[in-house]
Structure 1
Amino acid sequence: MLFIAPPARPQVGAHVPLDEDEFHHAVKVLRLREGARVPALDGAGGRYELAVERVERRSIELVLGALPTHEPAPGEPGAPLPRIELAVAWPKDARGEDMLGRLVQHGVARIRPLLTERTGAERRAGRRARLERLMKEHLKQCGRAWLPVLDEPASLEAVLAELADTLPAPAIHLDPRAAGSLATALAEDEGQPSAGLLVGPEGGWSPAEEALLEAAGTRSARLGPHVLRIETAAEAAAAFAATLLARS
């Protein structure tokens, strides 16, 4: 599987360029040879079949071998995935990157890193580019057609305002003390192919953040009887919501 930019003219025989990362993957990992066929994704719903015309030491020539197909965006009519927007207090270091990869595989449409009283944002040179490469690798691995949107870190107040504008039902924030389960909360939105989920930091939401959540009208829900790590809660909630909403 390769990741490509959407061709300007998606017609059979049109040449398809690769960036440096994908060239390396095609030649060094997939070891493509002349005459081979390889599937590709563009992260915007397009699925392609590419034909290899020529392979040289420092270049590879690919063309469209068939007309592409297009998958509706998550949550749209005919889409195999619901639209899940997940806001999460980002775990540190490799935990955050591992979580991001699994959220891509679970089909999350938009990932919103949260700035909370107990968590900040990692700001390392090249980090954004690294995370985008990571998402593309997991997209190719699982074969989903749409690359998630990864937002810049934002405050809880800002994220709550955006979720209220983009989703038809109130968002759900995870809380191990909640009376109702995530299944119950999602069942209230039967027929809605979308959900907004919020996962707080280790140590839980602060009193001020709980007040913001209540004022925004979000619903609290628990995943189970135990306190989970951030990434465990985020991944479990995303997988559960994707499965449950895909059935409705």
Structure 2
Amino acid sequence: MRVPRLFVDQPLASGAECALGQRALDHAVKVLRLRDGDGVCLFNGSGGEFAARLVRAPGGELRAQVGEFTPDRCESPLHLRLVQGISRGERMDYTLQKAVELGVSDIVPVTTERTVLRLAGERAARRLAHWRGVVLAACEQSGRTRVPPVAEPCGLEEYLARYDAAAGTGLLLDPSAAQALATLQDLRGPVSVLIGPEGGLSAAERQLAQAAGYRPVRMGPRVLRTETAAVVALSLLQALAGDIGG
């Protein structure tokens, strides 16, 4: 049976005993039904993971006795950023979850002309917290030991204004592009992939992205949903980098 993995937001060290934190504790007890004496795997996002065993403290609190450390073993060699046009509800959650499973390094949600979901103030803060929770859960499930940061949402134009094209390779998914993503041979890391929301990017936004240094690439003869496009693009890039499929 696979050992349950829990994220804890604190330093970890072999031989120490640590509190789990409310999120990890709720997940361990209410979802996984773990008890005193059960084995778990702990990670804090800084790389590597620790074997651990749950123990009942004198006051009744369930804590973790930290054991042997294992270094990173499943992180991608390619630094891969996903710049994702914000989509609605479960579509965005699915995109984030699968991006984490596919080894994405960081995620930037952007608002575009055709973005349906508009976020501001407290609503934006709640949605960002939710997205970060989706990412944490995906890390626990997939074996990731580094947690991809999810940036605060911003407008596409604002993001492009600060994008440094000299720092790596920028790719813009465009069904009409002349070059196929799978044929790329000159990738320079880090790689940044820009994907539109439902309805895609407008012509003006595609021009703006290209002016900022994003190269248009296509993935095939069919138009993909935004959440499908992210999965396919990240999979192809990781295959080109030798992270998957080998």
The verdict on a shared fold, with TM-score over 0.5 as the criterion, is: yes
| CA gap 1:35/1:144 in 2 versus in 1, 3 angstroms | same
CA contact (8 A) 2:36 2:62 kept: no
After superposition, give the CA deviation of every residue in 1:107-143 in whole Å (9 maximum; x if it has no partner). 1111111211111534536222222222111111101
Counterpart-to-counterpart distance in 2, 1:39 and 1:55: 19
Q: Name 2:92's counterpart in structure 1.
A: 96
Q: Give the letter aligned to residue 186 of structure 2.
A: E
For residues 148 and 210 of structure 1, do their structure 2 counterparts lie closer, same or farther at Cα, with a shift above 3 Å needed?
Answer: same
Contact 1:193 1:246 in 2 (8 A): no
Pairwise CA RMSD? 2.5
| Corresponding residue to 2:206 among 205, 210, 220 | 210
Amino acid at match of 1:13: G
Task: Give me the whole-angstrom Cα distance separating, in 2, the residues matched to 1:163 and 1:58.
Answer: 51
Name the CA distance, whole Å, in 1 between partners of 2:162 and 2:234: 19
Report the Cα distance in structure 1 between the residues aligned to 2:235 and 2:160, rounded to whole angstroms.
Answer: 22
> Is 1:176 aligned to 2:180, yes or no?
no
Amino acid of the structure 2 residue aligned with 1:71: D
What residue is the counterpart of 2:106 in the other structure?
Answer: 110
Aligned mates of 2:160, 2:143 — CA distance in 1: 31
**Separation of aligned partners in 2, 1:149 and 1:209:** 25
- Structure 1 Cα separation of the partners of residues 49 and 14 of structure 2: 13
> Which residue does the alignment assign to 1:197?
193
2:148 is aligned with 1:148:
yes
Distance in 2 (alpha carbons) for counterparts of 1:45 and 1:207: 41
Whole-angstrom distance in 2 between the partners of 1:202 and 1:132: 21
- In the alignment, the residues of structure 1 paired with residue 105 and residue 211 of structure 2 have an alpha-carbon distance, to the nearest angstrom, of 25
* TM-superposed deviation, 1:232: 0.8
Moved more, 52-61 or 80-89: 52-61
Q: TM-score, normalised to structure 1's length?
A: 0.84
Give the partner amino acid of 1:184.
T
Count, aligned residues? 236
Letter in 2 for 1:205: L
**1:13/1:170 CA distance change after superposition, 3 Å:** closer
Name segments (4+ residues, structure 1) moved above 4 Å.
55-58
Question: Which deviations, in whole Å up to 9, do the C-alpha atoms of 1:9-28 show, x marking residues without a partner?
Answer: x4432121112221122223
Secondary structure of the structure 2 residue equivalent to 1:172: strand
Cα distance in 2 for partners of 1:38, 1:171 equals: 39
Q: 1:80 to 1:210 in 2, by over 3 A?
A: closer
The TM-score, its normalising length taken from structure 2, stands at: 0.85
Q: 2:57 and 2:29 mapped to 1: Cα distance?
A: 8
Segment of structure 1 superposing worse, 25-34 or 103-112? 25-34
Decide whether the 8 Å contact of 2:210 with 2:216 is kept in 1. no
On the 8 A contact 1:37/1:49 being kept in 2, the answer is: yes
- Other-structure match for 2:160: 160
Q: Is the 8 A contact 2:197 2:226 kept in 1?
A: yes
Q: What amino acid is aligned across from residue 128 of structure 1 in structure 2?
A: L
The one of 50, 53, 64 equivalent to 1:51 is 53
Of the three residues 97, 118, 123, the one matched with 1:121 is 118
| Structure 1 residues 69 and 161: CA distance shift in structure 2, 3 A | farther
Check conservation: 2:178, 2:217, Cα contact below 8 A: yes
Indicate the residue corresponding to 1:19 in structure 2.
Answer: 21
2:72 matches 1:71: yes
Distance 2:226 2:155 in 1: 17
- 1:55, CA displacement in angstroms? 6.4
The answer on whether the counterparts of 2:136 and 2:147 sit within 8 Å (CA) in structure 1 is yes
Shift of 1:56: 8.1
